[in-house]
Structures are given as C-alpha cells and as structure tokens.
Chain A
Amino acid sequence: MVRAASGRFRVVLATDLTRIGVVVETVASCALSTPPASRQTLFRLRTILAEAIANAMVYGNQGEASRLVTIEVELHDDRLVIAVSDEGVGFDPAAIAPPTVEDRLGATRGRGLFLIRRLADHVTFNDRGNTIWMTLPRS
C-alpha cells in the first residue's frame, strides 16, 4: 500500500525477501522522479533502502512473515528522510563492527549497515534500535 500526501508517504509490507526489489523501485519512483535525481543518488537510495529493509526482515523480524516492515518517506525541498521500522526487539548499532578491518574482510555477512552509513548523508536510530532514519539529497 502506498499513500502519497504533503511530501510524505508510507509503505507497509509483510516480511518477504522477494518483495524488496519491487518496494525499492516503488519508493525510488515516488521519491526521486520529480525532479529527476542523479544516477548516483538513485543508486544510493536503492542500496540503503534495500539494505535497511533486508536487515529489518532478517534480523529485526527474524524472517517471520506475519511481522511487518514500515517505510516512511519525508520529502523536503533539498533532501528526503527515510525511516524503516520493524517489529523486532531492536539492536545496538554501536555494537556492530565495521567489515573493513582486516580480520573481518573475509566475513560473509555484516556489510549492510556499513554500506548504509557510508552512502547516506545522515543515519540515526531510535533508542530501541528497531527504526533507522536515513537522509539523502533529492538531486
């Protein structure tokens, strides 16, 4: 379901990894088509949103299909703020080690949050750790 009004819209979806691609394209189309954003901004949006949704489904909602992921997008003149929330118990983002240190380079997981932090202009979490806010330019 997508509702667009007053520079803000919301998407709510059940936990289903196969839906991530469609939802990402829907949000990108709604958020960055007018005015058209640069290729780099579109890539950044697709990447951070896909990673945040996957984290919400896999780690937050523990893959339970009955649990929901909520995406809220605020459109400002010069930026957009995307919030992704899950129904899990949350986590401590400060406890996640970067994957670029030598002994973690060969790890097979743990790069999603790192990519979000590197590609978004600003990233914050709620105290519980089950909502992430990510800021990107609209250009």
Chain B
Amino acid sequence: MAFKTSRTEAGITVVRVEGQLVVGNRQELKELVQDAVGHGDRKFLLDFTPTAYIDSSGLGALVSISKRVREAGGDLRLAGLNEDLRSLFELTKLDTLFPIAGTAAEALAGF
C-alpha cells in the first residue's frame, strides 16, 4: 500500500506517501483525495516523510489534486520532503504553488 490515510481530531486528512509517487500509482492518490473531498473532507496534509521518489507525473498529480481541493474550498499542504525531493519542487517552481512545511507536525500546526 503506497498511501496510508488517517484523520486527526481537528478533521485534517493525513495521507502518508510511502515509497514512490510515480506514473504507476499517481491515479490512486488522485482518486483517494477525490473520494475524501466527495465525503466532505476539506483539509489535507500529504506527508512525504516516507517517500523516496516523486516523478514528473507525480508532480502533475499533486497539481491536479491541489486544484480539486481548492475548488471545493479546501486546503492542501505538503510536508516531510527530503532534500532531493524538495529540489524537484524548487526546480519546477512548484514550491510557489504549495504550502510546504518541514515536518508533518509543523504542517498540522499551520492549519
């Protein structure tokens, strides 16, 4: 299972991305968040602490997910990116599109 979902007492849906977010599993994450939005969830934290790799398809999926959440009036934040993954966001300037926290705890405190 690449994605583990939990919900905090404050009503924040936390998705831990384990291993990789790539062309082979990006659709699964999109559908997971889409379903949660459909069930009324509006606050999302994507935790990349256990993530080794994100490819450009995964980056595109995050853009798509962010749009969906914002269209529903929600809030999507990212956390836990390692130095290499953070560099992908900086190179593509996606760090200007997403609120990115150093750790999941920091991100949760920011909602």
Contacts and interface: CB of A to CB of B under 8 A. Distances in A.
Interface residues of A, number: 27
Contact of B92 (A18, A39, A46, A114): A114
A58 B88 contact: no
Interface in B45-75: 53, 55-57, 59-61, 63-64, 67
Secondary structure dominating the interface of A: helix
B92 A106 contact: no
A123 to B, nearest CB: 14
B93 interface: yes
A21 B58 CA distance: 14
B92 A50 contact: no
A108 B61 contact: yes
Interface string A101-139: 000011111111011001100000000000000000000
A58 B92 CA distance: 21
Interface residues of B, number: 22
A17 B23 CA distance: 7
A100 B92 contact: yes
B82 to A, nearest CB: 9
B97 A118 contact: no
A17 B55 CA distance: 12
A99 interface: yes
A47 interface: yes
Nearest to B96: A105
- Which of B53, B56, B64, B91 has its CB near the most chain A CB atoms (within 10 A)? B56
B94 to A, nearest CB: 7
Contacts of A106: 63, 67, 97
Interface of A: 17-18, 20-21, 39-40, 43, 46-47, 50-51, 54, 58, 99-100, 105-112, 114-115, 118-119
Interface of B: 20, 22-24, 53, 55-57, 59-61, 63-64, 67, 84, 88, 91-94, 96-97
28 contacts: A17-B24, A18-B24, A20-B22, A46-B53, A47-B53, A47-B55, A47-B88, A51-B55, A54-B23, A54-B55, A54-B57, A99-B92, A99-B93, A100-B93, A105-B93, A106-B63, A107-B60, A108-B60, A108-B61, A108-B64, A109-B57, A111-B56, A111-B60, A111-B92, A112-B57, A115-B56, A115-B92, A119-B91
